Amino acid sequence: MSSFTQTLQNIFRIDELKQRIIFTVLVLLVVRIGAQITLPGINVQMLHELNRTSSGNDLFGLFDLFVGGAFSNAALFALGIMPYITSSIIFQLAGIVIPEIAKMQKEGEEGRRKINQYTRLFTVVVAGLQAWAMSIRLTTMADQAGNHIYATNVVLFTITTTIVLTAGTLFLMWLGEQITERGLGNGISLIIMVGIVSRLVPALIQEYNQVFVLAERPWVLEIVVFTLLIVIIASVIYITQGARRIPVQYAKRQVGKKVFGGTTQYIPLRVNTAGVMPIIFAQSLMFIPNTVYSFFPDNQILFTIANAFREHGLFYSVFYAFLIIAFTYFYTAIVFNPKEIADNMKKNGGFIPGIRPGKPTSDYVDHVLARITLPGSMFLALIAILPTFASNILGVTGGFASFFGGTSLLIVVGVALDTLQQIESYLLMRHYDGFMKSGKIKGRVS
């Protein structure tokens, strides 16, 4: 019996872990069902016909990727969990300019509880606005004969659609919290990941038809394509887990009869501290010209600009890569504060060997972070433009090409690693071997 099979058996021997896995799968099944149920009052056949004629090369196409096709289906969960993600990012950035929020971020568990509550309330506002905007967009969709896709009164349709979409987002937010509390892994991240993975099977079917049914590409080249995909996934895993560990020495101190300190710990500086956010920010900006042009299709100036930002030219790839590198440094500076790290070390009697406490420590950490962020940002830029390379050079279908890099691959790999780490922890607590021979997933340190 292989070690992998033995590990799977060990997983289902642990009752708590088995129940958490089953609960997570059932909740994710509910998420996918909600992504297929169309909003009331919509002509489904006409909607699908209009979707076939759209390019998807705009902000709506990017949004649809994160919700697993629910946006193009005009489904109950069409907004997905993105309003909650938007609210979380806004509060994270607000901590830089609003002292009250920055104070709550430093208050530990109590502060996080307050911020989470404010984030949920603000999610209602964001979801309501996005739901209203989507209802307006749906009322403008019509076929060439001028027939609209909704069958009821426009005011009634707008009101009901706004309410249903907002409720759908809040229900998804609650499901995500239930997965985090009673299931396995981070619920919000898993909901996004399952939406992305749901598009993999149709993409593989489309790829199979292109190679073996239509014979548009030799099967030998298809072997090269899948080999390249495996190499890319391995590289993403390696970089995602990569970190530079800075040693921190804590001086011995005596409190009563007990001695504390005298140990060496490490500050793990991840190569990819910013995660997938730089690609999301950059991709959103790159899609703006095509999105604006879709509202004014007769404007020649907008046509020229939008054509330059299509995913085919050298200008698109170079400018896209530049934005990703810039956003990587920007977001890393937001989520990681060397001064705060240096101050906490000084309060706890810690120091980096050879570096004086205080500002010299802050400058040293900032210098190291800047040096490892450069290769990390360049790797993100390379990963982001790989789908364009796979589509234009290798002739891979558009749906399958999205899994060669960009947000899809980074989100799937990152969430999968975090979930595996949780499973690994349960196995090790019960004295079982994990997925790795060493008994742990190396490098996945937060």
Do residues 169 and 85 make contact, with C-beta atoms less than 8 angstroms apart?
Answer: no
**DSSP track, 106-124:** TSTHHHHHHHHHHHHHHHH
Checking DSSP bridges between strand 350-351 and strand 258-260, what pairing results, if any? unpaired
Delineate the domains of the chain, giving CATH numbers in brackets. 1-198 (1.10.3370.10), 200-446 (1.10.3370.10)
Residue 443 has pLDDT above 50, yes or no: no
Amino acid at 95: G
Residue 416 DSSP SS3: helix
pLDDT tens profile 300-333 = 887 887 777 776 667 888 888 898 999 899 888 8
The CA-based angle 146-149-153, given to 5 degrees, is: 95
Query: What's the CA angle centered on 273, arms 232 and 339, to 5 degrees?
Result: 160
Per-residue pLDDT tens digits for 101-118:
888 877 777 888 888 899
Q: 438 pLDDT exceeds 60?
A: no
Residue 17 phi, psi (nearest 5): -65, -40
Report, as an integer, the average pLDDT of 160-171: 94
Closest CA to 28 of 189, 165, 161: 189
pLDDT at 368 over 50: yes
Q: Which two tokens stand for residue 121?
A: 């309330």
Cβ 309 vs Cβ 260: under 8 Å? no
Summarize pLDDT for 292-307 with one digit per residue, the tens: 776 677 778 878 877 7
Q: Is residue 243 classed as helix, strand or coil in its secondary structure?
A: strand
Q: How confident is the model at residue 159 (pLDDT cuts 50, 70, 90)?
A: very high
Asked if 95 contacts 105 with a C-beta cutoff of 8 angstroms, the reply is yes
Backbone angles phi, psi at 244, to 5 degrees: -100, 115
CA gap 207, 400 in Å, rounded: 7
Residue 446 pLDDT: 38
Is the pLDDT score of 78 beyond 80? Answer: yes
- pLDDT tens column, 143-153: 777 778 887 78
pLDDT of residue 262: 62
Q: Give the dihedral of Cα atoms 215, 220, 226, 230; nearest 10 deg.
A: -170
Whether 408 and 200 have beta carbons less than 8 Å apart is answered as: no
The percentage of the chain sitting over the pLDDT mark of 90, rounded to a whole number, equals 16
Q: Which residue has the higher pLDDT, 397 or 83?
A: 83
Average pLDDT over the chain reads 82
pLDDT value for 3: 67
Looking at the DSSP bridge assignments, the partners of residue 38 are 75
